[in-house]
Amino acid sequence: MKEYIINGGRMLEGTVDIRGAKNSILPLLAGSILTDEIIVLHDCPHISDVDSMINILEGLGSKIIRKDRDIIVDSSGVCNSQIPSSLAKELRSSIFLLGSLLSRLKKAKVAYPGGCDIGLRPIDIHIAGLRELNIDIQEQGGFIICNSQNAKSADVVLDLPSVGATENLMMSSVFIKGKTVIRNCAKEPEIVDLQKFLNAMGAKIRGAGTSVIVVEGVDKLHGVEYTPIPDRIVAGTYLIATAMCGGNVELRNVNSEHISSLISKLSKTTCKVYVKNDRIIIKSKGRQKSLDCIETMYYPGFPTDLQSQIMAMQTVSRGTSVIVENIFETRFKTASELKKLGADITIKGRVAVVKGVKQLVGSEVIATDLRGGASLVLAGLVADGETIVKDIHHIDRGYEDMSLDLSALGANIRRT
C-alpha cells in the first residue's frame, strides 16, 4: 500500500516546472488513432492515467514508445474497435476514444468508463450528440455499441457544456463530409489544445474556446509532433500549497490565463502573485484571510478540480468561507477526511461552510479521489505533527509523485 508521510510546518521555497496537462494529453492520445502516421507528444508526465490510456491504445493495435517525457504513437495497425471493461473502468477518459474509433473504423464497442468516485458523470450528452450525427448507438450489457457508416454532418446543441462530449463530437466529425456545428460547447483550454492538435494534423476546425465550434470534414489526417499545454490544475495546486504554508515559489511553464480565476481569489488574500510570461511567482506569509464565497463553474469560472484544494486552504484561514459545488454532487467527500485533521466543515447538499481553525493536527487519512487526495496532502503540509495519506494511487492519476516536487520546495514529505 503506497502512502505519503508528511511532517507539517515547513515553508515552501524554490521553483517547480509544470508538465503537460493530463486533461489535454488524454484526448490528444485518443486523437492519435485518427491517422496512420506517427504522432509524437512532448512533455508528458509519468502519471497512471496516461499509462492507462497507453494500455488501451495498445489493446486497439497501436504501437507506443515512451522516451522519458515523449510519447511516440504509431496507430497504423489499429483494427480493434472494442475497449473492454477491464481497461475502461480504470479511466474515465476512455470515453474519448468513442469519437476517434467511429472516425477511424466506423464502429466502436466501449464499456462504460470508470474514474474518480466524485458523483454521476452521465454520458447521455455524448450519446445524444452522436445520434444527431446519424450514428447508430445501442446500449447492451454495460457496453455502448456504435456504427457510423451512415454518419452525416449536423447542427448539434449540447444540453450542457460538457468537456468530454465536446471533444468526442470534434473527433467523431473530422471525416464527415460537410459542416458540423456544435453549440453550447465547453470552453476549457484543453478543448482549444485539441483543436490546435487536430488542425496541425490537417483537420479544419474553428471556434474552440467559444460556445460554437465548426468542423469541416476532411479526407485524412497526417502525423505531427505536438507539445500539450501545461497542467493548470497541478499549477493551481502548488499555488494553493504555497499560500497555505507560506514561502516564495516560482512556477515555470505555466499559462496564467488558464488559472486566472484562482489568481483572482488569491489576490483577495495576503498573498502576492506576480505573472511574467510563462512564469508565476507567489509570495505568502502563511495563514490567509478566508475567502467569503467560492463557487465552482464551467470555464472560465473557478474549476471544480481545484475546489478540494481551496477547501483545504479555507480550513486554516481566518474566518468563515462558503463553498458551492455546481459541477459534481459528491465532491465534498474529502471533507470527512479533513475533519480527522481537525477541520471545521459543515456540509449541506452542494454547499460547504468552512470555519477556519488556527491549527490542523496530523492524523491518518485516506484519499478517495484524485483532487481530494491532493487536498489532504496540502492539509498535511500545514498540520502539526505527522500526517499519513493512504491510497495515494488516486493522486498518482494526475500528479507525477507530488513528494518529489514538494520535497524540492522544502516540505517534509516522503513516499513509502
Pair type for strands 279-284 and 272-276: antiparallel
| Chain length of the chain | 416
Q: Give me the amino acid identity at 168.
A: N
Strand order in the sheet with 344-348: 293-295, 320-324, 351-355, 344-348
- Pick the closest to residue 185 from 216, 154, 164 (CA basis): 164
Q: Are 232 and 255 in contact (CB under 8 A)?
A: yes
Query: Residue 296 has which C-alpha cell?
Result: 465552482
Q: Are 97 and 30 in contact (CB under 8 A)?
A: yes
Residue for grid cell 483537420: 203
CB-based burial, 128-146: b 16+ in 10 Å, e otherwise: ebbebbebebeeeeebbbb
Catalytic residue among 44, 79, 116, 146: 116
Question: What 3-state class would DSSP assign to 260?
Answer: helix
Question: What 3-state class would DSSP assign to 125?
Answer: helix
Question: CA-to-CA distance for 330 and 334, rounded, in angstroms?
Answer: 9
Question: What 3-state class would DSSP assign to 67?
Answer: strand
Question: CA-to-CA distance for 359 and 383, rounded, in angstroms?
Answer: 6
Alpha carbon 360 to chain centroid, angstroms: 28
Question: CA-to-CA distance for 295 and 175, rounded, in angstroms?
Answer: 39
The one-character DSSP state at 20 is: B
Cα–Cα–Cα angle for 166, 168, 170, nearest 5°? 70
Q: What is the largest CA-CA distance in the chain?
A: 63
Question: CA-to-CA distance for 162 and 256, rounded, in angstroms?
Answer: 23
For residue 116, indicate whether it is catalytic: yes
Q: Is the dihedral of CA 46, 49, 55, 59 positive or negative?
A: negative
Which residues are part of the catalytic machinery? 116
